[in-house]
């Protein structure tokens, strides 16, 4: 285990870490491209360990129920044997043998269970770290892209303001020039020089173009 994993494990000691694959939202962390082959392999192994643990526990529960039934029947058969029913002897011996088999099988299953919780915790912990690493990489990449776009928008807005001011200055200058020429030379002279100009119309057209 790497130094980072050891540090995280120490910090998370005693805290309940949920089984990541048990949450349907876990797969959503990786988006449309899905998880890496390494993460998928760990997830598959984790699910197999959990299934094995569940299977062993269920077998133990089933054997305990069978053992209880056998013990109840042993009491009945013992009473029959003590009452002089010799035919109950063989059946009683079979039941005692089956009870012994149940004890042996439960002992084997419990031994198999001993290492599973630790193995599941370790693998789930590694899978959690691998998943978080993917998420943090995406967060950092998205943050860089967001900052780039934000900078571009800031620069664009700044440039746009400059251009709007230049546009307004140009319109104002044109309007003033046309007004002065109209007042000084008169409309007939302007018509001769083909200088018909409507400042209000030009402004309306430009405003419509900007809106589009």
Residue 40 lies in a domain: yes
The count of domains in the chain is: 1
- CA of 121: how far to CAs of 4, 27, 35, 112, 150, in Å? 17, 19, 20, 16, 42
Residue 142 lies in a domain: no
The rounded mean pLDDT for the chain is 85
Structural domain containing residue 31:
3-133
Give the pLDDT band (50/70/90) at residue 1.
very low
- CA of 193: how far to CAs of 13, 25, 185, 189, 203, in Å? 90, 74, 11, 7, 22
HSE (side-chain half, CA atoms, 13 Å) at 4: 5
Residue 61 lies in a domain: yes
Q: What pTM was estimated for this model as a whole?
A: 0.66
Residue 151 lies in a domain: no
Helix ranges (DSSP H) in the chain:
3-11, 37-82, 88-114, 116-192, 199-211
pLDDT digits over 158-199, tens only? 999 999 999 999 989 988 888 888 788 887 777 766 655 555
Is residue 117 predicted with pLDDT exceeding 60? yes
């Amino acid at each position: 285990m790497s130094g980072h994993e050891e540090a995280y494990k120490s910090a998370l000691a005693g805290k309940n870490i949920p089984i990541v694959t048990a949450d349907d939202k876990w797969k959503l962390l990786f988006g449309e491209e899905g998880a890496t082959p390494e993460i998928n392999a760990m997830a598959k192994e984790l699910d197999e360990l959990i299934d094995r643990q569940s299977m062993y526990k269920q077998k133990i529960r089933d054997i305990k129920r069978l053992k209880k039934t056998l013990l109840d029947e042993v009491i009945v058969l013992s009473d029959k044997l003590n009452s002089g029913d010799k035919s109950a002897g063989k059946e009683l011996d079979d039941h005692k043998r089956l009870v012994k088999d149940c004890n042996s099988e439960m002992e084997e299953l419990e031994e198999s269970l001993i290492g599973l919780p630790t193995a599941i915790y370790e693998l789930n912990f590694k899978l959690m770290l691998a998943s978080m690493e993917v998420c943090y990489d995406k967060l950092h990449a998205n943050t860089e892209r967001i900052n780039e776009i934000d900078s571009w928008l800031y620069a664009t807005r700044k440039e746009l303001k400059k251009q709007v001011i230049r546009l307004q200055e140009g319109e104002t200058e044109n309007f003033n020039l046309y007004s002065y020429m109209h007042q000084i030379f008169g409309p007939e002279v302007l018509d001769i020089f083909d200088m018909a100009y409507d400042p209000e119309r030009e402004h309306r057209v430009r405003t419509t173009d900007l809106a589009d």
